[in-house]
Amino acid sequence: MQNESSDNFALGRTDENSLSADDPTLPARVRELIRIGNVGIAKEDNAALAAFFHPQFRFHGPNGELNREQLWNYFAACRAAFDDFTVTRQAVVSDGGDYLATRTRFAGVFARPFTGLPGGALRPNGKRFEYRVINIFRYAPNGQLLEEWVQYDTAAFLAQLR
């Protein structure tokens, strides 16, 4: 992956439907972030995940911290439970340094038990759901993702699943 911190770009893009990994007007780092959501997270490409996430990656979410393998297990639980599972980047903001922020939508149909939360599996309700998160990403000098902070309404997410 390319380290774009020296490119000194400023970027702010939004598309309520989705930003595309094929959009040549987006910087390579942004296209790669979109791509990893599509193929690594939603479709399970473990080699892509390993290349994208730094070995010392840390996730900071509303329910605590995870390392990269714990986060990957959460993604696997999502793929196992949700049909038509998608990860869509809807907005991205960057100052050209090591930080990038996005608004991301997760969506799917709750078809099988979901084991990705503490406290036991949730039974499927067969309904479509979506939740949006605000992500802030920090990249390592080698271009891999080193840290992520996420905020979302966990109560609203759980209400859709119940």
- The residue extents of the domains of the chain are 5-111+122-161
Q: What is the mean pLDDT of residues 46-67?
A: 95
| pLDDT(152) > 80 | yes
pLDDT at 1: 43
Least-confidence region, from 62-71, 108-117, 150-159: 150-159
**From CA 28, how far away is CA 32, in angstroms rounded?**
6
- Computed over every residue of the chain, the mean pLDDT equals 89
Q: What is the mean pLDDT of residues 94-117?
A: 92
- What residues contact 51, with CB distance under 8 A and at least 6 apart? 1, 144
Distance of CA 123 to the CA centre of its chain: 24
Query: What secondary structure letter does DSSP report for 122?
Result: B
Q: What is the mean pLDDT of residues 108-132?
A: 93
**Are residues 44 and 68 in contact, defined by beta-carbon separation less than 8 angstroms?**
no
Q: What is the mean pLDDT of residues 57-78?
A: 95
pLDDT at 16: 64
CA distances, 9 to each of 25, 99, 124 (Å): 12, 12, 44
| pLDDT(97) > 90 | no
The CATH classification number of 5-111+122-161 equals 3.10.450.50
| pLDDT(8) > 50 | no
145: which strand partners? Answer: 53, 139
pLDDT bracket for residue 15 (50, 70, 90)? low
**From CA 145, how far away is CA 32, in angstroms rounded?**
11
Q: pLDDT per residue over 31-54, tens digit each?
A: 999 999 999 999 989 999 999 999
